[in-house]
Structure formats: structure tokens, C-alpha cells
Amino acid sequence: MTPIKTAVYAACGLSLFCLAALVQNAAQAQERRHREYEVRHGFWAGDIHRFHEHDLELWRRGRWIHDRHNGRFGWWWVVGGVWYFYPAPVYPYPDPFQPPTVVLGPEPSPPHYWYYCGNPQGYYPYVAQCAVPWQRQLAGGAPVPAPSPPPPVITAPPAPQQFWYYCDNPAGYYPTVPQCPTPWRRVPANEPPAGR
């Protein structure tokens, strides 16, 4: 290689190095101005009540990252160092007024039970038939308390005994016989009247 070519390549390399340094310095200066802007203007930091037009511009400059963050793998919208989880990316950017979807863990499975017999003693299926009621127990746990008995059935008190009034002379029942010269006889109302 000739000395002129070497000098040209060195000059180009130095120029590229200087250009890269300038771009990096410009990016760092822009980031510094951005952070100063956040401090001076009260960047919203996730509180939607403080979200303003200047925050929307910052929100739109966020970026999607498909990675693990704080132990959770998925799609993350990253804005100003704050990570927001989403189940899938929303393009071009998520709506800042719509909160991210909350992803809950799997539904808890229903409890599993074992059935214990007191006579003969043992658990189903080792004891196929039980002479007393089966006792339900949480699998691996303490016996499940038996359900409380139903409340007592309240019935109305029996109606008081009712009577008819019978007269011997003239023979008959009140009100068919309106007056009786002898004392009236009380007859339980559930007996059929005599002579009828």
C-alpha cells in the first residue's frame, strides 16, 4: 500500500471515529435534556391523572421489548425506564389512557377430598362400603367439618280445642236450639253430633 492510500484510509477512519463520537455526544445530550424536561415539567410516571400532551409525545417514543422483566416474560412497552406489561404488542403504540391488561395466574383448582369411614376404619377405595356416614376430608389435610344441620322446622302451635254446645231438653245443638233450660253440655267439635 502506498503512503498516500494509507494517509487517506487513516483520515477516513479518523473522520468516522469523530463522527461516531459526535453522534454519541448528541444522543447523550438529548437524553440529558429529556431527563431535565421530565424533572422540570413533572413527567407523569404512570399516573394517568397527570398525563398531558407533552407526555403523549414521550409515550409515543417508547419501544416494545419481548423479554423477561421482574420475573415475567412477555411484551413490555418501555417508556422513560418504566416497563408496562402487555399480553401482545399494540401497534404503533398502546393507548396511554387504556391501562395494560392484568394477567392473573391460573385459576385455583377445586379442592380434592378423601373419604374416611369410621366402621370399618379406612379410606375409600380401600374400604368399599361404610356402615356409618362417610367423613369427607381435604386431601392431605384435617377432616372437613360436617355441614351444620338444617334449621328446625317451626310449626304453628295446635289450635285450641273447639266445642259444640248441646242441650238435652229440647234436644239439639246451639244455634239450632237458641235457649236451653238445663245447663249446656260441651261436646268436642271433632266428634260427630249425636243424632245426626
Query: Which residue's entry shows cell 424536561?
Result: 37
Per 3-state DSSP, the chain is made up of helix, strand and coil in percentages (nearest 5) of: 25, 25, 50
The C-alpha cell at 43 is: 413527567
Residue 85, pLDDT above cutoff 60: yes
> Which pLDDT belongs to residue 39?
47
Contact of 115 with 142, CB cutoff 8 Å: no
Distance (Å, whole) CA 85 – CA 89: 9
Residue 40, pLDDT above cutoff 70: no
**How does residue 131 score in pLDDT terms, banded at 50, 70 and 90?**
very high
| Angle, CA of 6, 12 and 14, to the nearest 5° | 100
> Which pLDDT belongs to residue 124?
85
Which spans in 42-105 are helix H? 53-60
Residue 49, pLDDT above cutoff 50: yes
pTM listed for this prediction: 0.28
3-41 and 53-60 are packed helices; what angle lies between their axes, rounded to 10 degrees?
140
Which spans in the chain are helix H? 3-41, 53-60
65-76: average pLDDT? 86
Query: Which residue's entry shows cell 267439635?
Result: 189
The pair phi, psi for residue 75, each rounded to 5°, is -95, 130
Query: Which residue's entry shows cell 503512503?
Result: 3
